[in-house]
Each structure stands twice: as structure tokens, then as C-alpha cells.
Amino acid sequence: MIEVQVETSGLCGFSRCRAPLPGPGPKGGRPYAYCPDRAWPGGKTCKQLAAAQDALTEALGTDGTPHTGTITEATAAFVDAAGRLAEPVREVLDLATALRGALAEEVRAAADRADRAETAAATDQGLREAAEADAHAARLAAEAAEAKAADTIAEAKADLRRHVAARDQAVADARAARDTARQADLATARAEGIAATERTRAEDAIRQAEQERARADAAEQRATQEGARADAAEQRATEERSRAADERSRAEAADTRTIAADARADDERHRADEAIRALNDATATLATRTAELAAARADTERLRDELAAATDHTRDLATQLRTQQAAHDQRLADAAARHAAELARHTTRLREALLDPAPDEDLRTRLLTTLLDPG
């Protein structure tokens, strides 16, 4: 009976096992690299799992990251796209924020200027309308005063003409009465010697002459009064003429105020037009900036789509890699199983050759025959 002494020759090469390995046996041979008898879940040996681990390490690299051309390229593309996307988006957002604030301030300032211009224009419009109404009323008052003054002057002149005619008539009557009186006196002087009847007629004529003289004095007094009334009418006409001149001056002043109000209204209208133009320019600038922002957003969407496509591509590559790795692991496991079976078969044959040598063959010849025979 052959006594077999078990010795250890290091640790298992599978990193998750690292169990002590048995020695090569009493007749020597290569030491074990992996556990010869241990089985893991699924029936895998340490050698199979170590081969799969080596294949995975070769595929993923020593640091566990994909090689260039697989996941590394997709990840680099992802990082590059994200980096290229972040800075333009940040600049666009900063520009849009600054532009929104500036344009809002310009629009508010333009709106305030337009409101002030409209208010000033409305105020000047009201002042101009009030001035025009005052000027119109002043013109009407001046025209009425002139008409009234003309009527008063015409009436005064007519009264004056009537009073002058009455005075002339009274003077003529007085003169005629004096002439009659003088003639009566002459007739009296001549008629002293005439009979009593002639004296009576003379006395009657004297009485008539006195009456005529009294009427002449009254007519002269009336003429004086009419002259005084004519002077008063002339004074009133002069006052009416002065008031008409004052009304005309006020109308001219109202016209001057109306012209000034028109000029101010034109200035305010010009300022309002400038404010409207500024508002239109600000609106056009806002539209341009909005278009630029829309283009930047389109670029952002495009970069986001590229980033999503790169992410999908990375995900697809990872899926393909996992699928290929699983297939590779399966192939490695199958190859390891076949290799282990063949190794076990050769080991069995070698053990049989060593333990049960034929009497007619030497050990070296039997070992060589066993190793060279594939069956």
C-alpha cells in the first residue's frame, strides 16, 4: 500500500477564495494553482471563476473602466457634450437676465416719458382749448362792444344832428322873433300916432313878440341841453370805443396764449413721438434679443438631444458590453468546464498509469503513451 502525504503548496489563485492548496502528491508533478475540488454556486470551480475574472479585467481594464472605443468614448462624449452645453447655456441665461432687466427698465422709462408727454399734451390741449374759448368769447365781446359802440355813436350822432337841427331852428325862431320884435318896435314907434286899433294890434304884436322871445329862449335852452346830451353821448361813445380796444387787446393776448399753447403742444407731441420711437426701438431690440434667446434655446435643445443620444448610445454600449460579457463568461465557463473534464480525464489516466503499471511496460513508456494518446 502506497502512503500519500498531503502537503500544501500556496494559496488558491482565485481572489475570492485564497484557500490553501494541497501538495502535488507523493510522486511529484506541477503544484496546484486553484482548488481542485471546491465548487461554487452554479457548479463553477475556482479556476473557471478566475478565468472569467481575468477576462472581465481584460475587458474592463485594470481600473474597472471601459477601454477606449467602448464605454470610455461614450462617457467622454457625454462629458464633453455636457461641458459644451453648460457654458453657452449659462452665458445665454446671464445675457437673457441682463437683457430682460435692461429692456424692462427702458420700456418702463419710455412708458413713463410717454405718459408724461400725453399728460402734458392733454394739459396743454385743455389750456389751448380754454384759451381758444376765452379768445372766442373775447372776440364776441369785442364785436358786441364795437357793434354797441357803433350803435351808440350812430344814435348819439343822430341825436346830435336832431339837437343841432332843433337848436338851429330855435335860433332861427329866436332871430325871427327878435326881428319881429324890432319890426314891432318900429311899427309901434310909427304907430303911436295911429289909432287905438293900431295900438291894440301893436300891443298884441308885442305880446306875441314876447311870447316868441320866450319860446326862443326856451328853444335855446333846449338846444343847450341837447348839446350837453350830445357831449355825454360822445363821452359814452369814447368809453365804449376804449372798452372795445381793451376787448381787442384781450383777444390779441388770448391769441398769443393760444399760439404759445400750440407751440407747447407741438413740443410735447414731438417729445411723445420721440418716446414712441424709443419705445419702438426698445421693442425691436427686445424682439431681436428674444430671437437670439430662441436660437440659443434651440441650440440648447439640440445639445440636449445630442446629450440624450450620447446617453442612449452609452446605455446601448453598456447593454451590449454586458451581453457580450455574459456570453464571454458563458464561453469561458464552458471552456473551463471542458478543460477541467479533459484535465480530470488525463489526471485519472495518469493516476491509473502510475498506480496500476502493466508488468510488461516500464513507467516512462506508459506515461508517454498516456500523455500522447488523446483518447
What pLDDT score does 64 carry?
46
Q: How far apart are CA 65 and CA 75, in angstroms?
A: 10
Domain boundaries, the chain: 68-372
pLDDT at residue 202 above 80? no
% residues pLDDT > 90 (the chain)? 5
Q: 68-372: which CATH number, 1.10.287, 3.40.1130, 1.10.1040, 1.20.1460?
A: 1.10.287
Cβ 34 vs Cβ 340: under 8 Å: no
**Of the given ranges (65-74, 132-141, 345-354), which has the lowest mean pLDDT?**
65-74
What pLDDT score does 68 carry?
47
Cβ 88 vs Cβ 296: under 8 Å: yes
Residue with cell 369785442: 142
Length of the chain: 375
The helix/strand/coil state of 9 is strand
Q: Could you count the other beta carbons within 10 Å of the beta carbon of residue 107? A: 16
> Residue 147: pLDDT band by 50, 70, 90 thresholds?
confident
What pLDDT score does 270 carry?
84
Q: How far apart are CA 278 and CA 286, in angstroms?
A: 12
What pLDDT score does 18 carry?
92
Q: How far apart are CA 37 and CA 32, in angstroms?
A: 11
CA dist 276 → 46, 124, 287 (Å): 86, 19, 16
> Residue 17: pLDDT band by 50, 70, 90 thresholds?
very high
Cβ 238 vs Cβ 70: under 8 Å: no
Q: Could you count the other beta carbons within 10 Å of the beta carbon of residue 274? A: 14
Q: How far apart are CA 147 and CA 371, in angstroms?
A: 153
Residue predicted with more confidence, 333 or 195: 333
Q: What is the pLDDT of residues 271-290, one digit of tens each?
A: 878 878 888 887 888 888 88
Residue with cell 435643445: 301
Q: Average model confidence (pLDDT) for the chain?
A: 76
What distance, in Å, lies between the first and last C-alpha atoms of the chain?
29
Cell matching residue 118: 400725453
Instruction: State the pTM of this model.
Output: 0.30
Alpha helices (H) in the chain, listed in sequence order: 46-60, 71-190, 196-355, 363-372
CA dist 85 → 26, 73, 88 (Å): 70, 18, 6
pLDDT at residue 1 above 70? no
Cβ 47 vs Cβ 40: under 8 Å: no
Residue with cell 447593454: 319
Q: How far apart are CA 184 and CA 203, in angstroms?
A: 9
Residue with cell 413713463: 112
Full DSSP string of 210-245: HHHHHHHHHHHHHHHHHHHHHHHHHHHHHHHHHHHH
Residue predicted with more confidence, 87 or 15: 15
> Residue 329: pLDDT band by 50, 70, 90 thresholds?
confident
Full DSSP string of 323-340: HHHHHHHHHHHHHHHHHH
Among candidates 57, 3, 18, 12, which has minimal Cα distance to 34?
A: 12
What is the radius of gyration, based on Cα positions, of the chain? 71
Among candidates 266, 1, 258, which has minimal Cα distance to 130?
A: 258
What pLDDT score does 66 carry?
46
Cβ 118 vs Cβ 262: under 8 Å: no
% residues pLDDT > 70 (the chain)? 75
Residue predicted with more confidence, 53 or 343: 53
What pLDDT score does 12 carry?
93
pLDDT at residue 46 above 90? yes
Which 8-state DSSP code applies to residue 39?
E
